[in-house]
């Protein structure tokens, strides 16, 4: 009986934590910094990215576009973006993984940091062989 009570309590706590993450991620987040580690191991930065992401936790949708520019080691500027047009999302793995369902792909972003005012997401771009970390500040 104690084991059952323990698992029931654990289940209740995990459900409430999930809803806290969903409530906290709700709103508009402005991109403030981007760090890209390319396939060769070089770190590239953009401290002036443009765009916002809007999370609607009640409908589990995200909308917005982030554009950023980085320079490679030879000085060539590369432009990149992360674009979501009112697509569905889900929070998984004890609230540290955000899956965004953008047809035909599923983009898996790790939630590195989530506070009432800051959000940091990280994902691996397999098409460009790079690890990207985007930092946001909440504006609404």
Mean of the per-residue pLDDT values of the chain: 85
Q: What band does 8 get if pLDDT is binned at 50, 70 and 90?
A: very low
Mean pLDDT of 131-138: 96
Q: Which helix (H) or strand (E) holds 135?
A: strand 130-138
Contacts of 78 (CB under 8 A, 6+ apart): 44, 69, 70, 71, 72
Q: What band does 11 get if pLDDT is binned at 50, 70 and 90?
A: very low
Mean pLDDT of 26-43: 92
Give the tens place of pLDDT for each residue, 62-84: 999 999 998 877 778 889 999 99
Architecture of domain 2-138: Beta Barrel (2.40)
**H-only helix segments in 26-135:** none
Q: What band does 42 get if pLDDT is binned at 50, 70 and 90?
A: confident
**Does residue 8 sit in helix, strand or coil?**
helix
């Amino acid at each position: 009986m104690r084991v059952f009570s323990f698992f029931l309590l654990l289940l209740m706590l995990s459900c409430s934590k999930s809803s806290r993450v969903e409530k906290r991620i709700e709103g508009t987040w402005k991109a403030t910094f981007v760090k890209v580690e390319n396939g060769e191991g070089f770190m590239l930065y953009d401290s002036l990215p443009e765009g916002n992401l809007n999370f609607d936790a009640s409908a589990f949708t995200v909308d917005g576009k982030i554009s950023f520019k980085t320079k490679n080691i030879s000085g060539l500027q590369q432009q990149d973006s992360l674009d979501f047009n009112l697509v569905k999302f889900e929070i998984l793995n004890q609230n540290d993984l955000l899956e965004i369902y953008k047809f035909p792909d599923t983009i898996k972003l790790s939630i590195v940091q989530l506070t009432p005012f800051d959000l940091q997401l990280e994902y691996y771009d397999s098409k460009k062989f790079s690890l990207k970390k985007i930092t946001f500040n909440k504006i609404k």
